[in-house]
Amino acid sequence: MDESLYYLLKQLLTRNNIKVNNDELRLQLLGHPSYPSLHSITGVLDHFHIPNLAIEIPQTQESIDLLPLHFIAHVGVNGNNHFVLISKKEKGVQITYEDQKTELISIADFIDIWNGVVLVVEADENIKTDSAPWLSRGLLITSPVLLAICFYFMSLNLYEFLYFVLSLLGLTICVFILQHEIGASSQILNKICTGVSNKISCDDVMQSKGAIVLGLFKLSDLGIIYFLTSIVATFLIVISKSNFNPIYLISLIALPFTIYSIYYQFRIVKKWCLLCLGVVFVLWLQSALAIANIQSIPIEISEAGAFIIFAFSAYLITAGWLYVAPQIRLKPEYFKLSIQFNKFKRNFEIFYNLLSRSQAINTTITGANEIILGAKASELELVIITNPLCGFCKNAHKLVHLLLNHETDVKIIIRFNLSNNTESIDNKISARLLEIYHTSGEQMCLAAMNEVYSDTSYLKWLDKWGETRNERYFHALLEEKKWCVNNKILFTPKVLVNGRSYPEEYDFEELQYFLSDLHEIGEQVDSELVMS
């Protein structure tokens, strides 16, 4: 799948100092039903609650002056329309294309190719960012360095230290090979693997028959197992103060693999894999260190302990890698399935067809004095039928805040389906909520609802918020109960969208993806009624 638009959006957020989880950003964008349209970008930005605006403005110098330093624009180049990232500079604008190529052009030249459509974002201090990826990435980068420093002070032998560093380098290259195999590599790595010559192609080498040994191991598997074993074994040998001589000998044993790899690429595939050649080069350097330092062949019996350490390390790492590797290789497939799943679940036509299957219900209760939140005059109406004592209603209550924080105007009616006993706890809590709403306002009512739908004890809630003695609120609850019985609504929670039952195939929070479309349909129906 083409991910060029994801790259532009990620760069836009980075240059505006907006940090989000890149994996979530990628999933939400590529999984959007309208990807790769401008609507998919604004939809993803709305998902992260990032203020944004997509608009068509006059193609003038004055318009550009009013725009922020970095924005996405729609341009026409060589008869094709593209999204590009624009960064304003002193001598013009820098354009970053979807293929990551950049160029600096004048304002006049930019206006000639620009159609006036722009997307701008604004940093918001209230945006919640995920620091975990940055922390894990930092730890991943610094770990090999700290490991090498630790090994040096443990060994205090320059040759052993260089051998250990080369093992770390070889492992890194093999990880890059694995990333390329599963399609998770970066743009820079892709350029390395394709190169500037038609004789360079990592894909041709990695996907050939010779890249699988014994029908079980791929080249990346063998490399990761070998270098990871070398890292662990050399560490253990240094700790146990065993002789390093056997490790050097094992490096010499690995030399035939390098000859086979070069021969296979040169004579069979007739293409070169630069990453594979990197592994070969590391093995040659390790062999050179071995030749320069190996003390005796054959190995003495007293040095057999190092072989045992290496063999034991190889056994454990091979067993562990054979278990982990399939999970790693399945991750990209899971991601593709997640994208397809998102595209399906967020398709408004599918959602609306399921919604339209249910029979419309008249949601009006005359004189009920219910809790009505949000835009009370909106044509988009949601009725959330709930019970304070219902554990499943907690998820439905989360929907209230999700809708109120959404830019689309929506009218939310909180309707209670309770027992007939007015002395029951659920009746007491619901009646008090009605009273708080009508006497103290919407925000105070929301605060009280947040507590009752949390893990707060119901008795403690009543102690804090008190009880009402006003019979009209209990009467309103009886009217709501009567309405539920008449419409055969027996269980909570229940959500009605303009009088129709919310599809069971969707989670409540997924409603946020369809609010704008539902609002537009409501406006279209209203205009048709006016014209008729």
Which of 87, 121, 155 is the last residue before a domain boundary?
121
Q: Same domain for 180 and 293?
A: yes
Minimum mean pLDDT among 408-412, 434-438, 454-458, 494-498: which range? Answer: 454-458
> Within this chain, do residues 63 and 171 fall inside the same structural domain, yes or no?
no
As a whole number of angstroms, the distance between CA 375 and CA 9 comes to 32
The Cα–Cα gap between 44 and 42 comes to: 5
411-416/381-386 β-pairing:
parallel
Amino acid (one-letter) located at 372: I
The pLDDT of residue 212 is above 90: no
Do 144 and 274 sit in the same domain of this protein?
Answer: yes
Does residue 411 share a domain with residue 278?
no
In a domain, 213, yes or no: yes
Q: How confident is the model at residue 187 (pLDDT cuts 50, 70, 90)?
A: low
The answer to whether position 45 is within a domain reads yes
CA-nearest of 30, 51, 24, 48 to 337 is 30
Query: Does an H or E element contain 94, and which?
Result: strand 92-96
Cα 325 to Cα 30, 181, 225, 330, 340, distances in angstroms: 25, 12, 11, 9, 24
> In which residue are the tokens 């922390």 written?
135
On whether residue 131 sits in a domain, the answer given is no
> 180 with 305, same domain?
yes
- Asked whether residue 86 is assigned to any structural domain, the reply reads yes
Which of 121, 149, 169 is the last residue in one of the domains?
121
Residue 321 and residue 179 share a domain: yes
The phi and psi torsions of 429 (rounded to 5 degrees) equal -65, -45
Measured CA distances, 130 to 8, 126, 388, 391, 518 (Å): 20, 13, 32, 29, 31
Confidence of residue 530 (pLDDT cuts 50, 70, 90): very low
Alpha helices in 195-303 (DSSP H): 202-206, 219-240, 245-253, 255-263, 274-293
The side-by-side arrangement of strands in the sheet containing 371-374 is 371-374, 411-416, 381-386, 494-497, 500-501
Question: Rounded distance, CA 28 to CA 41, Å?
Answer: 9
What is the overall mean pLDDT for the chain? 83
Quick one: which H or E segment has residue 77? Answer: strand 70-77
| C-alpha to C-alpha distance for 192 and 184, rounded to whole angstroms | 14
Boundary (domain end) residue, out of 304, 334, 364? 334
By three-state DSSP, how is residue 421 classified?
coil
Q: pLDDT band at residue 40, thresholds of 50, 70 and 90?
A: confident
Same domain, 394 and 273: no
Region 291-305 average pLDDT: 63
Whichever domain contains 147, its CATH number is: 1.20.1440.130
**Would you state the pLDDT for residue 372?**
92
Q: Distance between CA atoms of 19 and 24, rounded to whole angstroms?
A: 12
Count how many domains the chain has: 3
- CA terminus-to-terminus distance, the chain: 46
| Residues 114 and 146 reside in one and the same domain | no
Distances from the Cα of 170 to the Cα of 30, 163, 192, 438, 461, angstroms: 33, 10, 16, 70, 62
pLDDT band of 71, cuts 50, 70, 90: very high
Domain of 72 in residue numbering reads as 3-121
In the predicted structure, residue 140 carries a pLDDT above the cut 70: no
Handedness of CA 491, 495, 499, 500 (dihedral sign): negative
Q: What confidence tens digit (pLDDT) does each residue in 311-339 have?
A: 888 999 999 998 888 888 887 787 788 88
Counted residue by residue, the chain has a size of 532
Same domain, 366 and 303: no
Lowest mean pLDDT among 136-145, 257-266, 392-401, 426-435: 136-145
CATH code where residue 113 lies: 3.90.70.10
Q: Which of 45-59, 146-160, 188-202, 350-364 has the lowest mean pLDDT?
A: 188-202
Mean pLDDT over 108-125 rounds to 84
Residue 497 belongs to some domain of the structure? yes
On whether both 40 and 151 belong to a single domain, the answer is no
Whether 344 is covered by a domain: the verdict is no
Is 50 exceeded by the pLDDT of residue 529? no
- Is 249 found in the same domain as 220? yes
Within a domain: 43: yes
The domain that holds 371 is classified in CATH as 3.40.30.10
Report yes or no on 127 lying in a domain: no
**Where is mean pLDDT largest: 23-27, 341-345, 433-437?**
433-437
Residue 299 has pLDDT above 60, yes or no: no
Q: What share of the chain is helix, strand, coil (3-state, %, to 5)?
A: 60, 15, 30
**Shared domain check, 292 and 160:** yes
- What sign does the dihedral 220-223-226-232 (CA atoms) show? negative
Higher pLDDT, 138 or 51: 51
Maximum average pLDDT range among 1-10, 240-249, 440-449, 510-519: 440-449
- Is there a contact between 166 and 88 (Cβ–Cβ < 8 Å)? no
